[in-house]
């Protein structure tokens, strides 16, 4: 087996369980030295436990790999800086950062509390920004010192963010923001030898199992296993992916796809009088492609119930 990430140093946030754990294990299998980050909180972000991260480290070491645990809250700006510093001081450099940590506090908009909104936005959006900021600053300094990196930043969006899911205005808004963050960061960091891509994973984990409608069969569990998402992340962290940047990949046991970005649809000249807008706006809507559902397919009428 070709080891795609031989001797590359990778941080994976939220790697103590679920999808992040699969990332860490496969990256290590492919030769990466892994910083396994996990605060160890509950699904809603409450609490902390260093155990899950340390267990993954022990699995990697037992298989002959190299790994260290990190228990930072990724939304803590200084703790994120220390995490990047730990990777560099322990392994000599940093080649890739996988921003995977997240929480859920689902609620319909009219019932959502300020705290539920703030917590999800903080963990997902700031928890992507803070590690990415410090990793990017490190890679820029390497580039300016004449040691141009072959570096990777991999973020995590969701079909809830790029297509929209009822009951997740906080989570979906954060995940849509991360998709936009990815595109912009890819443009900014290209000059420093850094690619930036994003994953919208589909998997059954402790975060999502109770959100799945109907019976969870063995076939469904296999199709939604986190193991199907780890291969694309491993490849994106490798040197082989250096020509791919600014893209959002959907990944699950059902398919691997590229999610296409917003495109400008039907257009008319600007209109100064709001009384004239109605018929024109309705015609533009009729001519435009419909929104998609959570399956990425066009909806009849453009909205789900």
62-103 per-position pLDDT tens digit: 999 999 999 999 999 999 999 999 999 999 999 999 999 999
- Please check whether residues 227 and 283 belong to one and the same domain: no
Same domain, 297 and 189: no
User: What CATH number is associated with residue 131?
Assistant: 3.40.50.720
In a domain, 291, yes or no: yes
Per-residue confidence (pLDDT) for residue 216, from 0 to 100: 60
Note whether residue 4 is domain-resident.
no
Q: Are both 85 and 110 inside the same structural domain?
A: yes
Query: Is residue 294 one of the residues assigned to a domain?
Result: yes
Q: Give the residue numbers spanning the domain of 182.
A: 9-259
**Pair (93, 177) in one structural domain:** yes
Looking at the fold, whether 183 and 272 belong to one and the same domain comes out as no
Identify the pLDDT of residue 176: 96
Q: Are both 60 and 191 inside the same structural domain?
A: yes
In the chain, the number of structural domains is 2
Strand 9-12's sheet: what is its strand order? 66-70, 33-37, 9-12, 96-98, 151-156, 194-201, 248-251, 256-259
Which among 23, 138, 171, 192 is annotated as catalytic? 171
**Low pLDDT (below 50) residues in the chain:** 209, 302, 305
Looking at residue 225, its pLDDT comes to 84
Are 153 and 228 members of one domain? yes
Q: Are residues 224 and 137 in the same domain?
A: yes
163 is catalytic: no
Contact 25, 59 (CB under 8 A): yes
Question: 86-110 in b/e burial notation, b at 16+ Cβ within 10 A?
Answer: bbeeebebbbbbbbbbbbbbbbeee
At residue 185, the pLDDT reads 98
**Confidence (pLDDT) at 69:** 98
Identify whether residues 245 and 285 lie together within a single domain: no
Compute the distance between CA of residue 71 and CA of residue 95 in angstroms, rounded to an integer. 20
* Same-domain check for residues 294 and 245: no
């Amino acid at each position: 087996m070709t080891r795609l990430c031989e001797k590359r140093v990778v941080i994976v946030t939220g790697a103590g369980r679920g999808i992040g754990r699969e990332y860490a294990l496969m990256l290590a299998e492919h030769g990466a030295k892994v910083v396994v980050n996990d605060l160890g909180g509950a699904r809603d972000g409450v609490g902390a436990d260093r155990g899950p991260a340390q267990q993954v480290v022990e699995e990697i070491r037992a298989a002959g790999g190299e790994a260290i645990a990190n228990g930072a809250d990724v939304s803590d700006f200084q703790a994120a800086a220390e995490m990047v510093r730990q990777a560099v001081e322990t392994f000599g450099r940093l080649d890739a950062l996988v921003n995977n940590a997240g929480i859920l506090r689902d609620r319909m908009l009219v019932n959502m509390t300020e705290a539920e909104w703030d917590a999800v936005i903080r963990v997902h959006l700031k928890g992507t920004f803070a590690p990415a900021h410090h990793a990017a600053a490190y890679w820029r300094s390497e580039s300016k010192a004449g040691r141009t990196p072959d570096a990777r930043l991999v973020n995590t969006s969701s079909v809830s963010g790029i297509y929209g899911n009822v009951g997740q205005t906080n989570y979906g808004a954060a995940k849509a923001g991360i998709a936009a963050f990815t595109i912009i960061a890819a443009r900014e960091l290209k000059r420093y030898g850094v690619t930036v891509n994003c994953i919208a994973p589909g998997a059954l984990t402790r975060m999502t199992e109770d959100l799945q409608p109907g019976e969870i069969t063995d076939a469904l569990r296999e199709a939604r296993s986190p193991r199907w998402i780890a291969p694309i992340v491993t490849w994106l962290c490798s040197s082989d992916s250096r020509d791919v940047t600014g893209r959002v990949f959907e990944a699950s046991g059902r398919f691997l796809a590229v999610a296409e970005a917003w495109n400008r649809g039907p257009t008319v000249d600007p209109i100064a009088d709001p009384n004239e807008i109605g018929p024109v706006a309705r015609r533009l809507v009729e001519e435009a492609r419909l929104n998609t559902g959570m399956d990425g397919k066009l909806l009849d009428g453009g909205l789900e119930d």
